[in-house]
Structure 1
Amino acid sequence: MNDVLSWVLESVSAVDPLLRTLLCALGMFLETSVLVGLIVPGDTIVIVSSTGVESVLQFIALVLAVIGGALAGETVGFALGRYFGPRIQGSRLGRRLGKHHWVRAENYLRRRGGFAVFLSRFLPVFHSLIPLTVGMSGMRYRRFMAWTIPACILWSVAYVGVGSAAAGGYRELSGDLHFAGILFVGAIVAFVLLVFVVKKWLARREARHMEHDDTSRMQ
C-alpha cells in the first residue's frame, strides 16, 4: 500500500504548486456558481489538492485559494440568481434537479435567513443552490457575504488542514512504518465519516425549516 500511496502523493506534489492551487480555486468557483458541485463535490477537489501541500506557504495559499474560489463562485451564483433565477429554474438542469429542491431551498432561506446561508456550506445540494436562491430573494449581497465568509473559512481550514496533515504524517512515517499507508487512509476515512455524520445530523435538524413555507422576515 505504501508504494501505491507514495506514487499518488508524488503525482499530486509533482504538479506545479501554483497551478495546483489555481485549479483548486477554479474547481471551487465552478462548484458554487453553476451547480457543478452537484456533480463533482468540492470536498474531493480540496482533499486531493491538499495532499500536495509541503510547506506553510503552500498551506496558506491553498486555504486562501479555496476561500477565494468559493466566494467568487457564490458571487456569480448570487448574480445569476438575481438576473436569471427563474430561467435557470426552468432550464433542463433546473428541472432535472427537481422542483422540490428549489422549494426547500427557498423555504429554508425564508425561515432561517442568514443562518441558512452559513449552514448551507455544510449541507448536500444546498451549498450549490443557496447562492442562486439568495440572488432571487430580497437578501442584500453584503449580508449574504457576511454569513457565507465565516462558513467558507471554517470549511476551507478544516478540509485543507486534514488533507495536508494526513499526507504530511504519511511522508514522515512511510520510511519507518509499513502500515503508514493504513494510518493515512484511516485518517481520511475517519474525517469523511465524521463529515458524513455531521451533514446527516444537520440535515435532519434543519429539515423542519425546509419543508414548511413561512412568511417571516429574514434574519
Structure 2
Amino acid sequence: MLNDLFSEYGLLAVALAVLLEQLGAPVPSTPVLLLAGVESAMRDGFALQSFAVATLAALAANGVWFWAGQRLGRRVLATLCRISISPDSCVRQNEASFARRGVLTLVIAKFVPGLSILAPPLAGALGMPASRFIAWNLLGSALWAGVAIGVGRLFHEQIDDLLHALSHLGGVALALAGVALGLYLAWRLWRRARVRRELERFERLGPAEALALAQQRSDIVFVDVRACSPTMPLQNRIPGARHLDMGALGDAALAGWPPAAVFITYCACPGDASAVRAAIWLKQRGHQAQVLRGGIDAWTQAGLALEPG
C-alpha cells in the first residue's frame, strides 16, 4: 500500500517532507528520502529527480530562515530556541559550531540534530553574504539528500522487506510507533522542564544591580560566555569583561584570572542558560559567581556602556 502511494506521489512527498522539516515542523524527512532511494531502484531517473527536489526544497526553506536572521538578528534564534525541545544549549551550541567550523557548519548542519534549523538564521544574523550562504548551504543540502537517497537505494531490499512486514502488522505497527514517539517526546519534555527549573533557581542580578555592585567593589569581574572566534568576533561587550570559552572549560581556562574575584557571567541566550552553566562551573571550582539577568541584551536595553569586543 505504502509503496503504491509512493510510486504515484513520491516526488510530492519528498518535497513536502523536506520543506516542512527544514521550516521547523516536527516532521522527519529522512525516512521519506530513504523511501525515495528504494523507489529509485525500481524506476530509472527517480534518484536524480528526488535528489533535485529534496535539495531545492531544503534550499528554499533554509533561505527563508537566512532572510529572517538577516532581518531580525538574534531575536529569531531566541524564538526558535524557546520553542525547541532542548532550549538550554540551543544558541550556544550553534554559535560554538560556527566559531569552530565557520561556513563548514552549513555543510554538516543537516546531519546534526538541532543544528539544521538554527544554522541558516544564525548565518544571516552573523552577516554572511547571501551568495556565500547559498553556495555552502546548497553543498550541504545536496550532500545530505544524496546520502539519504543513496542509503535507501543501497539497502532497498532490506527496507522493502521491512515495509512488507509492517504492512502485515497493520494497526499494531502504527500503535507501537506512536507509543515509542510519545515516550521519546515525554522524556524530552520532562528533561526540558527539569533543566528550566534548575536555571530558574540560580541567583541573578539585574543590569542596574550588577553595575552598582561593580562600582562599589573592585573585585567584580564580568565574564562573557558567548561563542566567538577570529572569523566570528564579538561586536561589543561589557567594559572590562573577560571571555570564557564554554567549549574548552578546564583549569587552563582561568589562568591569570584573579582567584578572589566575584564573577558575574552573561550570555545572549534564552533563560541565561549558558551564563548559568558557566556560573555553576565556576562555583564548583570554589569561586563566587552570579548571573546577569537578561544577559548582554538586557544590559544594552538599559542603556549601559559597552566597549568593542
* Alignment TM class, shorter chain as reference: 0.5 to 0.7
* Alignment match of 1:114 (pick from 97, 103, 114): 103
Tell me which amino acid in the other structure corresponds to 1:47: L
Q: Which is bigger in relative contact order (C-alpha 8 A, separation at least 6)?
A: 1
Change (3 A) 1:119 1:169: closer
Q: Which residue of 2 aligns with 1:46?
A: 33
- Distance in 2, Cα, partners of 1:16 & 1:95: 35
Q: Which residue of 2 aligns with 1:28?
A: 18
Whether the aligned pair in 1 keeps the contact of 2:98 and 2:105 (CA below 8 Å) is yes
1:69: Cα distance to partner? 1.0
- Distance in 2, Cα, partners of 1:55 & 1:113: 39
Whether the aligned pair in 1 keeps the contact of 2:78 and 2:91 (CA below 8 Å) is no
- Distance in 1, Cα, partners of 2:8 & 2:95: 38
1:139: Cα distance to partner? 0.5
Change (3 A) 1:113 1:26: same
**SS in structure 2 opposite 1:139?**
coil
Q: How many equivalent residue pairs?
A: 168
1:159 aligns with 2:141: no
Q: Which has the higher helix share?
A: 1
Q: Which residue of 2 aligns with 1:140?
A: 129
1:99: Cα distance to partner? 4.8
Greater C-alpha Rg: 2
- Distance in 2, Cα, partners of 1:27 & 1:12: 15
Q: Deviations over 1:200-219 (max 9, x none)?
A: xxxxxxxxxxx87224125x
Change (3 A) 1:27 1:75: same
* Alignment match of 2:76 (pick from 88, 99, 103): 88
Change (3 A) 1:213 1:170: closer
Q: Which residue of 1 aligns with 2:199?
A: none
- Distance in 2, Cα, partners of 1:132 & 1:25: 21
1:85: Cα distance to partner? 4.4
Whether the aligned pair in 2 keeps the contact of 1:110 and 1:217 (CA below 8 Å) is yes
Tell me which amino acid in the other structure corresponds to 1:75: G
Q: Which residue of 2 aligns with 1:3?
A: none
After TM superposition, the structure 1 = structure 2 runs for residues 95-106 of structure 1, keeping only pairs within 5 Å, are: 95-97=82-84, 98-106=87-95
* Alignment match of 1:216 (pick from 218, 230, 254): 230
User: What TM-score, normalized by structure 1, do the two folds share?
Assistant: 0.65
- Unaligned runs of 5+ residues in structure 1 are 1-10, 175-179, 182-210
Tell me which amino acid in the other structure corresponds to 2:4: A
Tell me which amino acid in the other structure corresponds to 1:113: G
Whether the aligned pair in 2 keeps the contact of 1:111 and 1:217 (CA below 8 Å) is no
1:138: Cα distance to partner? 1.0
Q: Deviations over 1:46-79 (max 9, x none)?
A: 1234333321211111111111111111111211
- Distance in 2, Cα, partners of 1:157 & 1:57: 14
- Unaligned runs of 5+ residues in structure 2 are 166-224, 233-309
CA RMSD of aligned residues (A): 2.7
Whether the aligned pair in 2 keeps the contact of 1:107 and 1:213 (CA below 8 Å) is yes
- Distance in 1, Cα, partners of 2:8 & 2:61: 20
